[in-house]
Homo-oligomer: A and B are copies of this chain.
Amino acid sequence: MQCGLSPIVGFRFSLHPMTNDFISVIKGALQETDTSNVWMHTDDVSTVIRGKQVHVFNVAKALTLHAAKTGEHVALSGTFSAGCPGDTSGDAYLDKGDNVANTDTTKQYVSSQFALYPMNNPNYMDVIYREVERAKELGVFNESMHYASGIHGDIHDVFAFYEETFTHARSEEHKHLVMTVSMSINSPSHGGL
């Protein structure tokens, strides 16, 4: 059990293409994405990637962008985690450098929602309010809602916000941070379930 401000970040997620061809959309996204900087494991419900924060966010964005470029309606749901006292130091790929492997800058509108859960932190509501302010300052805030905040814009701006927020919402004193993200792309109806 490693209890410092662990450099290991994880993202457990599912990518859901709403099409009969969902398998080929997912396989295509995996083929187009360089995942060599993260440890990755897939089971029957979700996929987890682990490694340095910079690579976890880079791979998450690249997989999502490649799936989006098919033009199909795709949804991403997942949880970023760091600093869990029960976490292990294995499966971490911490020997990787800091240069990101995926650099596709294609623009893509995404609508998303996130929630921050700073664990065992009496001031966690302050952290949440501060990070929502950050979204407003960065121009990616969409709307307030029960249990989450709406974040939207170009996929690169949205993921940049999420990575920045994930950095700022944890500290050496409060290491364990969880952030849920749901994202909808190419939605045919902005009133769909």
Nearest chain-B residue to A183 (Cβ)?
B45
Contact with B along A7-42 (1 / 0, CB 8 A): 000101011111110110010001000000000011
Chain A contacts to B: CB under 8 angstroms: 10, 12, 14-20, 22-23, 26, 30, 41-48, 50, 73, 75, 77, 79, 81, 84-87, 91, 111-113, 115, 117, 119-122, 124-125, 128, 143, 145-148, 150, 178, 180, 182-184, 187-193
Number of copies: 2
Bound-state CA distance A70–B96 (Å) is 45
Contacts of A10 in B (CB 8 A): 146-147
Bound-state CA distance A147–B73 (Å) is 27
State the Cβ distance, A111 to closest chain B Cβ, in Å: 5
Contact A81:B184 (CB < 8 A) given known A45-B111, A86-B125, A193-B15: no
- Asked if B146 and A87 sit within 8 Å, CB to CB, the answer is yes
- Asked if A17 and B14 sit within 8 Å, CB to CB, the answer is no
